[in-house]
């Protein structure tokens, strides 16, 4: 079976790439080890993600606007504070020129996955093999062949690894990663609360790590709902994760400080060790890495999935433009253009995110004062604030057409 690309990994990023290519008439074969239909069941993944406004525009351009309209909660404001200090940094989409566009959306990962699968099934240029195990990947000068465990042979000029943080395709290609662990664990859950969130995302920095309250759309059982991403120190993690729902809710309530009224846990909590990783190169012969297979950062600024979606937008543009020039889609010049485009941007986001986390983790009154004055300073310096806003929206750097909401 022949296609323009073979995408290993049918998660959010891999499937978004298949659909972005489909919108331009390029064919892809998606292979995933998991039964993708089973991952659509409620409760599989209690996580939600922030989708910045530029990647959201891409999702609309490739036909996924409905899920944002139906289930995405617009983030109209972001409020950043050092703990519960009254000095804060405040981003408001409505004070900007392009008032209509929110800063981003909060969306449950599961619902985005459902929408991607629903769009992929009827898509003319997308073939999905899942659950399917990759037995062998052969990358040669004139093309690549992926052989599945059942003997099916897939051929394409290019293989794309979208198989996540522990990418076996990346490992198989011998691409090394720089990585480290933060001494932090993220506790992720959902709360229902008494007062409305007014579409505001709150980022409270505590010395143990950031505490984020991210607005979600209401459901009948919980008309006011938010996602919680709480970073705690590793040594405290076993204690917190053993807490029952009520005790954990009480701990969360202490951090929120009561401004949302009474709260209750409305989803099971899960915990994730936090780390940073960046592949030393995004390309090898007839192979490119995207999404978590290429990079993973601290969730402090909610940029992880957005980096992956920006990879998708840039790669789709590179492949579509190359196809229209009759180029071999696995040619080194094509691969180099994607790598150069994404590597700088991803390195910047990764560096700033890491620095933010380290700055806010410093203990003592001195660093706290610097942070508080820093936040208040950014608040007062308009160009600096505009720059942070653009970063939150995902609008910095040389933007691919899809991030403007346009097809290539």
Task: Encode 232-241: b = buried (16+ Cβ within 10 Å), e = exposed.
Answer: beeeebeebe
Q: Is 272 exposed, middle or buried (0-12, 13-18, 19+ CB in 10 A)?
A: middle
Residues 6+ apart with CB under 8 A from 266: 190, 191, 192, 221, 222, 225
Q: Where does this chain touch other proteins (CB under 8 A) — which range of 130-138, 144-152, 194-202, 333-341? A: 333-341
Query: Measured between alpha carbons, how far is 113 from 40 in angstroms, rounded to an integer?
Result: 7
- Assess 100 for contact with other proteins (CB under 8 A): no
Q: Angle at CA 19, nearest 5°, toward 52 and 25?
A: 130
- Assess 118 for contact with other proteins (CB under 8 A): no
Q: Is 45 exposed, middle or buried (0-12, 13-18, 19+ CB in 10 A)?
A: middle
For 217-363, strand residue ranges (E) read: 225-233, 263-265, 270-279, 283-284, 287-289, 295-296
Fill in the DSSP letter of residue 408: -
Q: Shortest distance, CB of residue 352 to other proteins, whole angstroms?
A: 22
Looking at the DSSP assignment, which residues form a beta bridge with residue 127?
A: 29
Nearer to other proteins, 300 or 314 (CB): 314
Nearer to other proteins, 155 or 165 (CB): 155
Among 142, 151, 242, 246, binds other proteins (CB under 8 A): 142
Phi, psi angle pair for 319, to nearest 5°: -70, -40
Q: Where does this chain touch other proteins (CB under 8 A) — which range of 96-104, 130-138, 291-299, 327-335? A: 327-335
- Assess 124 for contact with other proteins (CB under 8 A): no
3-state secondary structure of 381: coil
Among 25, 42, 238, 258, binds other proteins (CB under 8 A): 25
Among 43, 151, 246, 325, binds other proteins (CB under 8 A): 325
Nearer to other proteins, 166 or 324 (CB): 324
**Which 256-275 residues touch other proteins, going by CB under 8 A?**
none
Q: Where does this chain touch other proteins (CB under 8 A) — which range of 55-63, 81-89, 219-227, 329-337? A: 329-337
On whether the CB atoms of residues 198 and 166 are closer than 8 A, the answer is no
Q: How many residues bind other proteins (CB under 8 A)?
A: 17
- Assess 328 for contact with other proteins (CB under 8 A): yes
Query: Measured between alpha carbons, how far is 228 from 212 in angstroms, rounded to an integer?
Result: 6
Among 117, 148, 331, 356, binds other proteins (CB under 8 A): 331
Among 323, 361, 392, 402, binds other proteins (CB under 8 A): 323
Residues 6+ apart with CB under 8 A from 389: 91, 96, 103
Among 1, 114, 327, 378, binds other proteins (CB under 8 A): 327
**Which 334-373 residues touch other proteins, going by CB under 8 A?**
334, 337
Nearer to other proteins, 286 or 295 (CB): 286
Among 258, 332, 381, 404, binds other proteins (CB under 8 A): 332
**Which 190-209 residues touch other proteins, going by CB under 8 A?**
none
Nearer to other proteins, 394 or 400 (CB): 400
Among 83, 143, 218, 374, binds other proteins (CB under 8 A): 143
Fill in the DSSP letter of residue 143: E
- Assess 333 for contact with other proteins (CB under 8 A): yes
Residues that bind other proteins (CB under 8 A): 25, 141-143, 322-328, 331-334, 337, 408
């Amino acid at each position: 079976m022949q296609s323009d690309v073979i995408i290993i990994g049918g998660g959010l990023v891999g499937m978004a790439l298949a659909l972005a290519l489909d919108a331009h008439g390029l064919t892809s074969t998606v292979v995933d080890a998991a039964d993708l239909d089973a991952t659509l069941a409620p409760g599989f993944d209690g996580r939600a993600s922030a989708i910045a406004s530029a990647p959201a525009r891409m999702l609309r351009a490739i036909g996924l606007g409905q899920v944002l309209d139906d289930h995405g909660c617009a983030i109209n404001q972001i409020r950043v504070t050092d703990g519960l200090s009254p000095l804060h940094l405040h981003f408001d989409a409505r004070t900007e020129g392009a008032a209509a566009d929110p800063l981003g959306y909060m969306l449950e990962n599961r619902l985005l996955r459902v929408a991607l699968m629903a769009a992929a099934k009827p898509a003319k240029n997308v073939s999905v093999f899942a659950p399917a195990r990759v037995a062998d990947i052969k990358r040669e000068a004139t093309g690549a062949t992926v052989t599945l465990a059942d003997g099916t042979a897939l051929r394409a000029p290019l293989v794309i690894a979208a198989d996540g943080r522990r990418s076996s395709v990346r490992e198989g290609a011998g691409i090394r990663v720089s990585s480290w662990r933060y001494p932090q664990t993220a506790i992720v859950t959902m709360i229902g609360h008494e007062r409305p969130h007014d579409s505001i995302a709150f980022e409270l920095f505590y010395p143990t790590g950031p505490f984020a309250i991210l607005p979600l759309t209401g459901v009948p059982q919980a008309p006011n709902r938010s996602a919680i991403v709480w970073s705690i120190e590793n040594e405290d993690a076993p204690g917190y994760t053993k807490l029952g729902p009520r005790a954990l809710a009480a701990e969360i309530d202490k951090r929120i400080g009561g401004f949302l009224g009474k709260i209750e846990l409305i989803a099971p909590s899960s915990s994730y060790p936090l780390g940073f990783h960046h592949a030393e190169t995004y390309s090898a012969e007839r192979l490119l890495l995207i999404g978590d297979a290429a990079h993973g950062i601290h969730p402090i600024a909610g940029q992880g999935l957005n980096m992956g979606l920006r990879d998708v937008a840039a790669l789709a543009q590179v492949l579509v433009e190359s196809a229209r020039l009759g180029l071999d889609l696995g040619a080194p010049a094509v691969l180099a253009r994607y790598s150069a485009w994404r590597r700088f941007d991803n390195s910047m986001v990764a560096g700033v995110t890491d620095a933010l986390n380290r700055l806010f983790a410093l203990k003592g009154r001195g660093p706290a004062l610097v942070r508080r004055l820093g936040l208040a300073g950014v608040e007062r310096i308009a160009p600096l604030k505009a720059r942070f806003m653009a970063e939150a929206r995902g609008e910095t750097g040389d933007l691919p057409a899809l991030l403007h909401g346009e097809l290539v």
